[in-house]
A = this chain, B = another copy of it.
Amino acid sequence: LSSTDPLARDADPGQDEGLLSPGTAGTAAESATGDAAVLRALVDAEAALAAAQGAPPAVVAAINTAGAELSVRDVALRARPGGNPVIPLADLLRQGVGSAAGRDAARYVHRGATSQDILDSALMLVAARTLPGVLDDLGRTAAALAALAAAHRDTPMAGRTLTQQAVPTAFGLKAAGWRSLALDARDRLHAVRLPVQLGGAAGTLAALGGGVPGGSGDAGLTLVRAYAGELGLLEPALPWHTLRTPVVDLGAALAFTCGALGKAAADVLTLSRTELGEVAEGSGGGSSAMPHKANPVHATLVAAAAKQAPGLVSVLYGSLVAEDERPAGAWHAEWPALRGLLRLAGGAAAHAAELAEGLRVFPARMAENLRLTGGLVVSERVSATLGKARARELMDLAAERGVSFADAARDEGHGDLVDPAGWLGAAGSLTDRALHRS
């Protein structure tokens, strides 16, 4: 069983293919953020920069062609001495374009740029390509939850606080709350602004038309706009190589998404418990040991995402402290954290959509559970209607007679007060209001 076993796999063992990430494996966000997608975006950024600088279409095409022939692993390994993948990428593209289109063509590659211009822009591009899928899944989630909320607008269930049944609520209101969080996530992701980064070695655009002796510097500003246009990203007011607002805003919206969906997952996990049985996932996950089990796997994987996101986003908040014109470490620390959050949010949204669309709701179990306290779950209503003293009397009476609070109330002619369905408050109105939000 040694690690040098002759059966040991020959394939490059460093690569990850999702084995430890069932919550993101096979999702659109996984492929949109994989190394191949990142490399594609890096090449796109180089091609866009050349195009914005007036490179002939054939040169731009040559950059794309050269880029398509690169090996991710080769670039990754060559990235080590310089600490980032753009240094070898630019060299390899220059070689490729030079071979295909000549030395003059090669001069267009990475002209005046610094690694960060390409890498930051590429990660924004990756985000721009990942977010639509996440938003779609949030939309699916919200739509399914809206249907559940409407269908169960008046379905009574126990409201639970600090794990104990407190007073009744309605399942519709609960689903409407989950939906409102999904919409909050959607709105925050929609509001994220994804700009290009372009500034050159120290953010002054000096080698990008900003520094032409005698010039006004405006050529550099114009170039930033053209570059943004090529990539379909926004034009920033300032190069943001060390002003990391775009990264934190994006990361914060993604971490919010994970946590917001995590609330629904937590509730589904609780309500799915064998002893509660109020909801179940459409098709529960199996078990390697127990044939009868139907596990709430979607909820579990969303919950796992919600537990990972806070740690990752804390890295991004920390990297706001980006010293000098390029920080030694804070920038590099962002990359895996940002990709991780894109994936976690994408995976969580995909699983939440499956969860919401397939969720089965069991009103009968909700009603049954509401009977567990023998009417105490509506003691608030009795108190509010008859006064605390009378409510206390009824409790004492119940204890004395060895019957439930509900039975004691019924015996005393207050049976109308102990129906949970009569104490849902504004649950219906709140649900209606929440469903008006689009």
Which chain B positions have C-beta within 8 A of A68?
A: 7-9
Report Cα–Cα, A358/B87, bound state, in Å. 22
Interface residue A333 (Cβ < 8 Å from any Cβ of B): yes
- List A3-40 residues whose CB lies under 8 Å from chain B: 3, 5, 7-9, 11-23, 25-26, 30-32, 34-40
| CB pair A425 B211 closer than 8 Å | yes
Q: Looking across the interface, which residue of chain B has its beta carbon closest to that of A246?
A: B184
| CB pair A307 B323 closer than 8 Å | no
Interface residue A195 (Cβ < 8 Å from any Cβ of B): no
Interface 0/1 of A359-403, CB less than 8 Å to B:
000000000010011001001110111001001100100000000
Which chain B positions have C-beta within 8 A of A203?
A: 159, 169, 173, 177
Report Cα–Cα, A46/B114, bound state, in Å. 49
| CB pair A430 B14 closer than 8 Å | no
Interface residue A58 (Cβ < 8 Å from any Cβ of B): no
Interface residue A83 (Cβ < 8 Å from any Cβ of B): yes
Interface residue A287 (Cβ < 8 Å from any Cβ of B): yes
Interface residue A48 (Cβ < 8 Å from any Cβ of B): yes
Which chain B positions have C-beta within 8 A of A84?
A: 22
Q: Take A9-B68, A163-B270, A163-B272 as given contacts and tell me if A14 and B23 are in contact as well, using a CB distance cutoff of 8 Å.
A: no
Report Cα–Cα, A85/B297, bound state, in Å. 13
Which chain B positions have C-beta within 8 A of A339?
A: 20
Q: Looking across the interface, which residue of chain B has its beta carbon closest to that of A219?
A: B426
Contacting residue for A307 out of B65, B230, B330, CB 8 A? B330
Which chain B positions have C-beta within 8 A of A255?
A: 317
Which chain B positions have C-beta within 8 A of A1?
A: 44, 47-48, 230-232
What's the nearest-Cβ distance from chain B to residue A337, in Å? 7
What's the nearest-Cβ distance from chain B to residue A61, in Å? 9
Interface 0/1 of A241-260, CB less than 8 Å to B:
01111001000100110111
- List A211-268 residues whose CB lies under 8 Å from chain B: 211, 213, 216-218, 220-221, 230-232, 237-239, 242-245, 248, 252, 255-256, 258-260, 262-263, 265-267
Which chain B positions have C-beta within 8 A of A161?
A: 114, 201-202, 287, 293, 295, 324-326
Q: Take A87-B287, A169-B202 as given contacts and tell me if A296 and B81 are in contact as well, using a CB distance cutoff of 8 Å.
A: no
A/B interface sample: 17 pairs, CB < 8 A = A7-B67, A14-B34, A18-B77, A82-B286, A158-B274, A161-B287, A166-B326, A167-B204, A167-B289, A184-B245, A201-B380, A204-B430, A207-B381, A220-B425, A237-B433, A265-B321, A274-B373
| CB pair A8 B40 closer than 8 Å | yes
What's the nearest-Cβ distance from chain B to residue A27, in Å? 8
Max chain B C-beta neighbours (<10 A), residue from A211, A260, A289, A326? A289
Contacting residue for A34 out of B15, B167, B220, B221, CB 8 A? B15
Which chain B positions have C-beta within 8 A of A151?
A: none
Report Cα–Cα, A166/B77, bound state, in Å. 25
Report Cα–Cα, A173/B211, bound state, in Å. 14
Q: Take A114-B288, A307-B329, A430-B239 as given contacts and tell me if A204 and B273 are in contact as well, using a CB distance cutoff of 8 Å.
A: no
Which chain B positions have C-beta within 8 A of A16?
A: 15-16, 34-35
Interface residue A96 (Cβ < 8 Å from any Cβ of B): no
What's the nearest-Cβ distance from chain B to residue A335, in Å? 4
- Known: A25-B76, A260-B320; 9 extra A-B contacts, CB below 8 A, are A8-B40, A22-B85, A110-B288, A163-B272, A163-B273, A270-B324, A306-B321, A307-B330, A309-B317
| CB pair A75 B267 closer than 8 Å | no
Q: Which 3 A-B pairs have the closest CB atoms?
A: A159-B202, A259-B320, A303-B329
| CB pair A424 B321 closer than 8 Å | no
Q: Take A129-B3, A217-B428, A425-B204 as given contacts and tell me if A306 and B320 are in contact as well, using a CB distance cutoff of 8 Å.
A: yes
| CB pair A336 B320 closer than 8 Å | no
